[in-house]
Amino acid sequence: MSVTVRVPAKVNVQLAVGAARPYGFHDLANIFLAVGLYDEVTVTPADALRVTCEGPDADQVPLDTSNLAARAALALAERRGFEPNVHIHIAKDIPVAGGMAGGSADGAGALLACNTLWQTGASRAELLSICAELGSDVPFSLVGGAALGTGRGEKLRTLDVGGTFHWVFAMAGRGLSTPAVFREFDRLGEGTDIPEPVASQEIVEALAKGDADALAASVSNDLQPAALSLFPELADTLAAGRAAGALAAVVSGSGPTTAFLARDKESAAKVAQALETSGTCQKVRAASSPAPGATVL
């Protein structure tokens, strides 16, 4: 018997970053929006814990216990006193180290899949608390839709989304490490007064109305200067998408994937085509929001 769970990628329509805290994280006001690009995580009983991965970027995915999917299985098994004897297979479509929570998606997916396979009866609250232990973005991967994340990003408040948003994502030829981008954020901000992160009411309202123009006018990412500093060519990708008519162009999370908001499906197709021929990125994908969270298939 196997269980398969489908989990979405995310884009941050707001990523407000506060000063570094002594415990090594930053306070965030983080508005997540799930997008219709998915990984599928399948778990099957096995003699021992094992992870395999398929997909174009599969060679970049660690198959040891540094993989969040393996850590999720271990965390749930440990709480229940089980042996985590399961084969986890990841069919990967979300870019690796791309700023779209691909690793977090696999963590949330494996947790829900193992919980279903093992019939542990864990509550939603317990699953969310395990997600928060696994990583800042993992709870959102479980929940999907749209949410405001505070604390280090893991405390979620669900937000209403009143329409469909059309996105184009440009994937880069290499990844960026999230801790490295946060370190660069700290370096660039040294000696300056970094304000407390505050959720944007404009963005919350734009999501609720399904208003792409209003969302485009307010989209923001405080990590973007740091990502551009480490990966300056991303400026060319952002410019190419803007020139093709994107309403907004922004680095997704800690990057290096860049996200382009389009007015409608036709405009998204135009932006995607322009980016594909621009020579400024490796791969282009169109996807819409919102998308549901981790779902047992």
Residue 214 marked ligand-binding:
no
List residues bridging with 35 in a β-sheet.
9
Residue closer to ligand C5P by CB (options 109, 241) is 109
| Amino acid at the residue 243 | A
Binding residues vs ligand C5P (CB under 6 A): 25-26, 28, 135-137, 152-153, 178-179, 182
Please compute Rg for the chain using Cα positions: 18
Residue 36 marked ligand-binding:
no
Region for 279 from its dihedrals, namely left if φ exceeds 0, alpha if ψ lies in -120 to 50, beta otherwise: left
**How far, in Å, CA of 201 to CA of 198, rounded?**
9
Taking the complex as a whole, the smallest distance from the CB of residue 272 to ligand C5P amounts, in Å, to: 28
Residue closer to ligand C5P by CB (options 26, 166) is 26
Which residue from 99, 161, 202 is spatially nearest to 293, judged by alpha carbons?
161
Residue closer to ligand C5P by CB (options 20, 228) is 20
Contacts of 253 (CB under 8 A, 6+ apart): 10, 11, 12, 15, 99, 100, 101, 137, 178, 221, 223
Taking the complex as a whole, the smallest distance from the CB of residue 223 to ligand C5P amounts, in Å, to: 10
- Which residue in 10, 27, 92, 106 is the catalytic one? 10
| Amino acid at the residue 14 | Q
Taking the complex as a whole, the smallest distance from the CB of residue 131 to ligand C5P amounts, in Å, to: 11
Is 137 tagged catalytic? yes
Is 209 tagged catalytic? no
Residue 171 marked ligand-binding:
no
Residue closer to ligand C5P by CB (options 39, 284) is 39
Residue 181 marked ligand-binding:
no
CA dist list (Å): 21 to 18, 152, 248: 9, 10, 31
- Which residue in 27, 39, 106, 137 is the catalytic one? 137
| Amino acid at the residue 148 | L
User: Catalytic residues, which ones?
Assistant: 10, 137
Question: From the annotation, which residues make up the binding site for ATP?
Answer: 95-105
